[in-house]
Chain A
Amino acid sequence: MAVHRRQLTTDLNSQLTKISLPYQCRKLLLSYGVWNSSLNMIEIVHRHRSATKCFLSMGFMKNSKLYIYPEEAIFMMQCSLLQVSINNLEEKNAIPISLTEAYSLWFNQPRLNIKHLHVYQYLTRIGFTLIRHRTDRSMIEAEENLSNKNIKRKRDEYENEIIEPPEEEQQRQHENYTCQVHLSSDCQRLWFPNYTDDPPIDMKVYPRLLFPDKLLPIQIDWVPSDFNLKVSNVQLSIYENNNSSPRPSFSLLRSIDLQSHRTIYQRLSSFRFHSNQTVQPSSSSDIFFDMYKSKKSFRKSQPGEPDYYIQIIDGDDEFNFEKTYHQQQTDTLTAIIHSGDVSFYSIKSFDPIGAFQ
């Protein structure tokens, strides 16, 4: 018994000793990064080949520069692969950010906090590739994808290029397509043929449109008629549905308004704000990461459909049956974090009758 107790004490002591070892690496093997506060990302200014595998799946390119997310930077720092500084005065001799400063600087925000980091670290450690959920990506990525079209690609990228999916799947992809802000040169001109980037306009010159407090159901003349039917069934706080009264002649958005960003903005900004309620995020907004199993052919520019979607919930929150039941993505893993401890659950709808047929 005394030997067993001594062994257990030694195990605790060895565990405490292990955590006190420094995160260290040869200077020549380090990659260097600089914190970009406006983007809330880390710009990699010097890449070493020891971190190549990490950079293949982390961050994104913009104007030939690599930017990585804070959780990726922390992971690399704790793998002794990366040193980050606040400014870029002396690339390799700048004062490095300490772990404490990195946590305080990067994870004290409403949209990115410590539980996101815990989930990211936990899954990345065991070999999964995690990237930010696609609808969560910033405009920078969209612009960069467009500007990268002219860059020559390496041979293996041509060889490993993803084969185009069949027509049915392409159509499905179009239906779920989330429109991002494009440069006007690449804008789809099917619906907005006269769309152009006009110079900034003086708002005083153009008269603002005023709408009454109570708006009657609207009709948008350039969309299919069944759309108007669906819209008329929607209850909105700014207007009442009154099927008996005739529809007004004015429209929410008219085809003549679709000249440029500015004209649309001007039209929409004319509405007075009636409701004090904040817009509730949709059920898919809890999904923060797309998770991919480890594979050599993974390309962060074209990751493909993720193996799982990661939804992150705090352990002290209550379980929302309604939201979970109507979850859009079926392959969702729910990560529950409580005081640093992470556990994963898979919650799916179940048909007791259909399951046994």
Chain B
Amino acid sequence: MTSQLCCYIFENRHGLIFNPDSIRILREQYRIIGCLTGNLPEYPRQNAELGLPLELSREECCVLADQHIISMYELILPLNDCEEDHAKYLTDLEIEFQRQKIENGHERINEILINRQSILQRNIQSANENSSETDEFTLSLLETNNAWKNCSRSLEENEHIMLLNIIKQRLRQFTLEYMLMKLPIESRRTNLKLRSITSEELKQNLKLIEQLRCDVFADLYLNKNQKYWISSGQKFGGDYLVYFDDPSRCHSTFIVTCVLRNEIERNSTIIPLTHLIARCRIAVNVNKICILASRKSPISCDIEYLTVNWNGF
């Protein structure tokens, strides 16, 4: 079963989502935070808020693919331009140009009508100039523009001609070079080849600790009793940060660190005690709870959690 939400996989570990609607769905419906990495369209020169694409971790990709929420793909290179795609692109460009021309036309007409008093006062000398014929495009615009239809009833003839000249002049300025070009986000080539990737393929050749991280994420995310929001915990020295609600509404409560226990030969934990103390103190200082997650047994997928608290006495 393929989902509408497409995720492109890079280096067999990073998933990128380029569609903003998909990002919204994942955030609002599926509690997936990810990390935006690109420039924001309106303000590209800052790092406070970022834009497309959204990067998902391997663990998020695996869980979402297993739940059939996303479909994972990889682009097959090389890319080729074909004549049909080029012809279609030019046709779409022309259609978009016409659409923008109409939109721009209405905006100009409204702008001129709002400022008509000052325009008429400035241009009173050129009232007697002969006006050229009005082209079909301008006529169709004027017929569909409500502001013009309402306003023209109260205008005198010379004012009417004056404003019409200015409107025609302004509309002529909007050429193909003046249209807005959008950066295409997703490919529209008909000869584009995609290779479907499964979560098993992503989990191939993983180290023990990486496998554990995937299982811990799945365990927290698919928890039936509580809906958690999970993001990267690297800023606090852990693997995950766990929230009870959307991160835009609250701070995280837990810092989860995955620890290998039964997967290695030694029975003791591999985390030195000084590291454990450091993690615990960090968590206390930032008002969070430090949690260690590990497997119950080497063969079981059940995860056990341990909290560590520092008592300040």
Contact = CB atoms under 8 A, between A and B. Distances in A.
B53 A11 contact: no
Contacts of A79: 39, 44-45
Contact of A121 (B23, B24, B37): B37
A20 B44 contact: no
B79 A105 contact: yes
A191 B53 CA distance: 53
Interface string B66-87: 0000000011011111000110
Interface string B24-63: 1001100000111111111011110101110111000000
B39 to A, nearest CB: 4
A87 B81 contact: yes
Interface in A112-131: 113-114, 118, 121-122, 125-127
Chain A interface category by residue count: 35 or more
A22 B179 CA distance: 14
Contacts of A341: 35, 232, 234-235
A114 to B, nearest CB: 6
Q: Which of B11, B23, B42 has the most CB of A within 10 A?
A: B11
Contact of B75 (A21, A100, A315): A100
Interface string B185-226: 111110000000000000000000010000000000000000
B37 A100 contact: no
B176 interface: yes
Contacts, number: 186
Contacts of A118: 37
A138 B39 CA distance: 28
Interface in A70-107: 75, 77-80, 83, 85-87, 89, 93-101, 103-105, 107
B18 A114 contact: no
A170 interface: no
Contacts of B234: 315, 336, 338-339, 341, 343
Interface in A326-357: 336, 338-341, 343
A189 to B, nearest CB: 44
Contacts of A27: 176-181
A122 B37 CA distance: 8
Given A18-B40, A23-B41, A127-B45, A98 B185 contact: yes
A109 to B, nearest CB: 10
Contacts of B8: 100, 103-104
A108 interface: yes
A201 interface: no
Contacts of A103: 8, 10, 16, 53
A113 B235 CA distance: 22
Contacts of B85: 95
A26 B183 contact: no
Contacts of B75: 100-101, 104-105
A126 B10 CA distance: 26
B38 to A, nearest CB: 5
B36 A340 contact: yes
B20 A77 contact: no
Contact of B41 (A9, A18, A75, A89): A18
A25 interface: yes
A24 interface: yes
Contacts of B21: 20
Given A98-B187, A125-B39, A339 B232 contact: yes
Interface in A256-288: none
Contact of A93 (B23, B24, B93): B93
B34 A340 contact: yes
B184 interface: yes
A257 B45 CA distance: 55
A341 B189 CA distance: 31
Interface in A211-269: none
A37 interface: yes
Contacts of B39: 23, 75, 78-79, 121, 125
Contacts of A26: 177-181
Interface in A1-57: 5, 8-9, 11-12, 15-16, 18-28, 30, 37
A18 B21 CA distance: 12
Contacts of A78: 38-39, 41, 44, 51, 183
Given A24-B181, A27-B180, 12 more contacts: A12-B246, A75-B39, A85-B81, A86-B80, A86-B81, A95-B85, A99-B52, A99-B53, A100-B8, A101-B189, A103-B10, A113-B10
Identify the 8 closest CB pairs spanning chains A and B, nearest first: A340-B35, A340-B55, A20-B20, A104-B75, A78-B39, A23-B183, A98-B184, A28-B177
Interface of B: 8, 10-11, 14, 16, 18, 20-21, 23-24, 27-28, 34-42, 44-47, 49, 51-53, 55-57, 74-75, 77-81, 85-86, 89-90, 93, 176-189, 210, 232, 234-235, 246, 248-249
27 contacts: A8-B248, A8-B249, A11-B248, A18-B42, A19-B52, A22-B41, A23-B41, A24-B181, A26-B177, A78-B38, A78-B51, A86-B81, A87-B81, A95-B86, A97-B184, A99-B184, A100-B16, A100-B185, A103-B8, A104-B75, A114-B16, A126-B45, A126-B47, A339-B55, A339-B232, A339-B234, A341-B232
